[in-house]
Amino acid sequence: MYFTEILVMRTSQYLLSTLKETPASAEVISHQLMLRAGLVRNLASGLYTWLPTGLRVLKKVENIVREEMQRAGANEILMPMVQPADLWEESGRWNDYGPELLRLNDRHKRPFVLGPTHEEVITKLVANELNSYKQLPLSLFQIQNKFRDEIRPRFGIMRSREFLMKDAYSFHLEQECLEKTYQKMFDAYCRIFDRLGLNYRPVLADTGSIGGDASHEFHVLADSGEDDIAFSDASDFAANVEKAEALAPQTERAEPTQTLTKVATPNVKSIDDLVNFLAVDIKTTVKTLLVCGIENEQGETPIVALVLRGDHQLNEIKVEHLSQVASPLTFASEEQILAVVHCNAGSIGPVGLSIDIIVDRSAAQLSDFVCGANENDQHLTGTNWQRDCSTYQVADIRNVVAGDPSPCGQGNIVIKRGIEVGHIFQLGTKYAEAMGCAVLNEGGKNQTLTMGCYGIGVSRIVAAAIEQNHDKYGIKWPKAIAPFQVAIVPMNMAKSARVKETAEALYEQFNQVGIEVLFDDRKERPGVMFADHELMGTPLLLIIGERNLDAQQVEVKNRITGEKSLLAIDDVMSLFS
RNA sequence: CGGUGAUUAGCGCAGCUUGGUAGCGCACUUGGUUUGGGUCCAAGGGGUCGCAAGUUCGAAUCUUGCAUCACCGACCA
């Protein structure tokens, strides 16, 4: 434990800083409550100062993460936030990372970056420090501020530019060993979120451009989440919709019954327009999207057509994995569209196209469908694959939707929102190769290491916990991360010597036993004190008043359940045993 | 990056249409009052109205530019 907890706390010596009114700039509930309860203050877009109460929570999350990482066998280190640019050139990310990477120069005009992540630094470190396979496997982690120059910071602490992250990296000679550590980390993550008291789910995730074989995200379930998670209603299956496979329909494609007919569709530009104009079911229409393909040897960029059922949405990640399509995904410009199909975007269809056509599995199952005619203000009805368009490839290129069969084979898909608070993946050799990270193996040969990488958004967890645990009075902290375990709330202490004596005595006892207590010794009316402590979410309130002192009792109020009960003063400590 | 909106006291807002000595509520200070759920009364302190230029005798108010903050979008076929 690296953080020394300060137990002694009186409100008269404490920066309470609660707000009665919600600042106008706060949109989501966690942001509002973090401002109102005095956890954070905004400095600039996406930059926050942590006040005492917020910092206590942040440190508690941090400590749970630290303990479980240590238990999983990882060593803690601390790397600089400012990193030399040449490391990023070595890995290739100086060019690849884009504008999220904040670049700066020092006084000698040497280029640096503000670290959005630390793969380069740690891989370089390990490349320098390790020589032999005998030193493997090795896991290292740090808890560090990261900076990502987000296009649009939003939702307060949930998507800020500077944020606290735990990032861990493991190094191995063999894939098999990496898989073992990966599983260990997976288990450690589950223990972390269990201990934090959050409702979370590990979900299958896309490995992104980094590649690698396995990846899981850990999501805290909350309606305000930014990610869609696909669950099976009949099994443990859970996957990010980016990743969830949309299965091909089980049924055979129906035989054509209609003839191909061109119909005039003036001013019909979108699928919605089309459905309204022709009064057809959206599920009998297809949309055709033109995107840029991979540049060929002549330096030309071919255009590729993607065909989806009208009601389905394109999954960019799946498309980027296709060999014909350029990554990152780029839609064809108006000029490119005109050059290929001689019509506007709203009238494109697969019939008669002489470019690569990739059809989603569901769209490929349609018969007698409606599509663009590749002529302005014209569409085709009664279109059928094979008969009217025979050269195409079928692939999974859409997002799953609620009700789809689950790819695990059991049940149907349900979609919920999640806040991504953790991400683990098997990196492979990408960075180790680029940074020359290798050791001598048993045969005395140089062997490049394979890596795993494991992140947790520490500050984001604080916001996610609030999103999941609040009511109209304020925050309801899970016990493990509450800033204080108990608040002493004396009624009219200024006038009653008995109340003051009792409150002071209990405060002293809590301090001796090491229970984090906030003693409200302000000269405030009871309502003000109650409101502040409920806003801050302290799990237990100890209310001391003349009313119950004759019977040597105090009142205990549970913030989570709302239950109130009377307790003999002598029994108060038993609440915490 | 595109669109929209905002910027006046620590916070929440009014004033701007129709230019003429900057206001309200909360918070803060002082005195009194009250004391088991955000008391009440009284007296105070606090603002170069985001910045810059322009119009005008005179600008929070009109014009132009800039900055900052926020929201929506970045899937259009």
Nucleotide nearest to A315 (CA to C1'): B75
- Residues A469/A200, Cβ–Cβ less than 8 Å: no
Bridge partners, residue A42, by sequence? A48
Kindly give, in sequence order, each residue whose CB lies less than 8 Å from that of residue A427, ignoring residues fewer than 6 positions away: A119, A210, A211, A212, A450, A451, A452, A453
Nucleotide nearest to A31 (CA to C1'): B70
Residue A209 above 70 pLDDT?
Answer: no
Separation of alpha carbons A566 and A246, rounded Å: 57
Across A409-449, the runs of DSSP E, i.e. the strands, are 413-428, 438-440, 446-448
Nucleotide nearest to A319 (CA to C1'): B75
- Give the 3-state secondary structure of residue A136: coil
So what's the pLDDT on residue A45?
A: 86
So what's the pLDDT on residue A88?
A: 93
So what's the pLDDT on residue A2?
A: 45
pLDDT band at A210; cut points 50, 70, 90: low
Q: How far is the CA of A15 from the C1' of B61 (A)?
A: 40
Mean per-residue pLDDT of chain A: 90
Q: How far is the CA of A24 from the C1' of B57 (A)?
A: 40
Which nucleotides of strand B come closer than 7 angstroms to any CB of the protein?
A: 1-2, 11-13, 25-27, 34-39, 68-77
Nucleotide nearest to A523 (CA to C1'): B35
Nucleotide nearest to A151 (CA to C1'): B1
Q: How far is the CA of A24 from the C1' of B16 (A)?
A: 21
Query: What are A314's two structure tokens?
Result: 């394109």
Nucleotide nearest to A545 (CA to C1'): B36
So what's the pLDDT on residue A255?
A: 92
Nucleotide nearest to A47 (CA to C1'): B69
What percent of chain A has a predicted confidence (pLDDT) above 90?
61
CB atoms under 10 Å from CB of A564, counted, come to 11
Measured over all CA atoms, what is the biggest interatomic distance in chain A, rounded to whole angstroms?
Answer: 95
pLDDT in tens, A140-174: 999 999 999 888 888 899 989 999 999 999 999 99
- Give the 3-state secondary structure of residue A129: helix
A285 burial type by CB count under 10 A (0-12 exposed, 13-18 middle, 19+ buried): buried
Residue A186 above 80 pLDDT?
Answer: yes
Q: Which residue is nearest to nucleotide B39 (CA to C1')?
A: A525
Q: How far is the CA of A525 from the C1' of B28 (A)?
A: 17
Q: How far is the CA of A553 from the C1' of B20 (A)?
A: 67
So what's the pLDDT on residue A213?
A: 62
Report the range out of A228-237, A294-303, A413-422, A552-561 with the highest average pLDDT: A552-561
Q: How far is the CA of A242 from the C1' of B57 (A)?
A: 67
So what's the pLDDT on residue A326?
A: 79
Q: Lowest-pLDDT range, A6-10, A236-240, A313-317, A500-504?
A: A6-10
Residue A291 above 90 pLDDT?
Answer: no
- Residues A416/A244, Cβ–Cβ less than 8 Å: no
Separation of alpha carbons A471 and A196, rounded Å: 19
The residue with greater pLDDT, A140 or A320, is: A140
Q: How far is the CA of A570 from the C1' of B72 (A)?
A: 57
Task: Pick the closest to residue A105 from A114, A94, A96 (CA basis).
Answer: A114
Residue that the structure tokens 């990152």 belong to: A328
The residue with greater pLDDT, A223 or A300, is: A223
Mean pLDDT, to the nearest integer, of A383-406? 90
Q: How far is the CA of A151 from the C1' of B1 (A)?
A: 8
Residue A493 above 60 pLDDT?
Answer: yes
pLDDT band at A25; cut points 50, 70, 90: confident
Residue A448 above 50 pLDDT?
Answer: yes
Q: How far is the CA of A484 from the C1' of B47 (A)?
A: 38
Nucleotide nearest to A286 (CA to C1'): B77
Strands A227-232 and A238-240, sheet pairing: antiparallel
- Residues A322/A328, Cβ–Cβ less than 8 Å: no
Residue A242 above 60 pLDDT?
Answer: yes
Q: How far are the Cα atoms of A251, A264, A340, A363 from residue A385, in angstroms, in the given order?
A: 16, 22, 21, 10
pLDDT band at A474; cut points 50, 70, 90: very high
pLDDT in tens, A333-382: 777 888 888 888 788 889 988 888 999 999 999 999 999 999 888 899 99
Separation of alpha carbons A388 and A296, rounded Å: 29
Query: What are A562's two structure tokens?
Result: 């709302």
Q: What is the DSSP string of A173-238?
A: SSHHHHHHHHHHHHHHHHHHHHHHT--EEEEE---GGG--S-EEEEEEE-TT-SEEEEEESSSS-E
ipTM over cut 0.85: yes
Q: How far is the CA of A413 from the C1' of B20 (A)?
A: 68
Q: How far are the Cα atoms of A65, A235, A328, A389, A424 from residue A204, in angstroms, in the given order?
A: 21, 14, 21, 36, 10
> What are the two backbone dihedrals, phi and then psi, of residue A147, each rounded to the nearest 5 degrees?
-130, 120
Nucleotide nearest to A347 (CA to C1'): B77
Query: What are A427's two structure tokens?
Result: 């990196």
Residue A60 above 60 pLDDT?
Answer: yes
Q: How far is the CA of A450 from the C1' of B76 (A)?
A: 42
Separation of alpha carbons A258 and A13, rounded Å: 81
Task: Pick the closest to residue A84 from A99, A66, A106, A100 (CA basis).
Answer: A106
Mean pLDDT, to the nearest integer, of A89-108? 88
Mean pLDDT, to the nearest integer, of A431-439? 95
Separation of alpha carbons A141 and A257, rounded Å: 63
CB atoms under 10 Å from CB of A283, counted, come to 14
Q: How far are the Cα atoms of A173, A262, A345, A355, A498 from residue A342, in angstroms, in the given order?
A: 55, 17, 10, 13, 89
Residue A5 above 70 pLDDT?
Answer: no
pLDDT in tens, A547-564: 999 999 999 999 999 999
